[in-house]
Amino acid sequence: MGQVIHYQDDIYLIDSLISFLADTARLDADAEILGDVVYSVILQADRAFRVVREMILGNSHLSDRNEYLALLARTATTMTMALDAFLKPGSSIGQSLELRAEELRAIRDAHTGAANEIESILDAHSGKQSGRDDHVSSDEISELLKG
């Protein structure tokens, strides 16, 4: 029997981790105390995001796929903003992450790309949807004119 995946719960928890990062980026936390914790959360949130994203993108028949993709796009954007804040000079936590700046830039760029890719997929899907809604077949017109 297949394993049931609770995408919405998983995305919520990933978003919560990334929200922690965004909150940390806005605060003046002590790098000596939380620097390694923040780095670990960045890596874990990134890994979990990529796994869930690939699972959702790989399943075009998922009933709430567009909702999940929209949530992932928002989460990726939040991660991008948090990493930008950590990479700015003068960031208290960012100072402890300086040696890992290239890795953080790569993660940031990957999340920026993921958000853009997901937005493109959602835009393309909404274009197909609106095209289908606007199209009325000749059979449908005939039925409407009969009544």
Give CA–CA dist 14/11, Å, rounded. 5
Among 99, 109, 81, which residue's Cα sits nearest to residue 25? Answer: 81
Per-residue pLDDT tens digits for 107-117: 999 999 999 99
Residue 14 CB coordination number (10 Å): 25
Among candidate residues 52, 104, 53, the one with its CA nearest the CA of residue 79: 104
The predicted-structure confidence for 77-127, as pLDDT tens digits, reads as follows 999 999 999 999 988 898 899 999 999 999 999 999 999 999 999 998 876
Q: Where do the structural domains in the chain lie, given as residue ranges? A: 7-125
Q: Please give the model's pTM, rounded to 2 decimal places.
A: 0.81
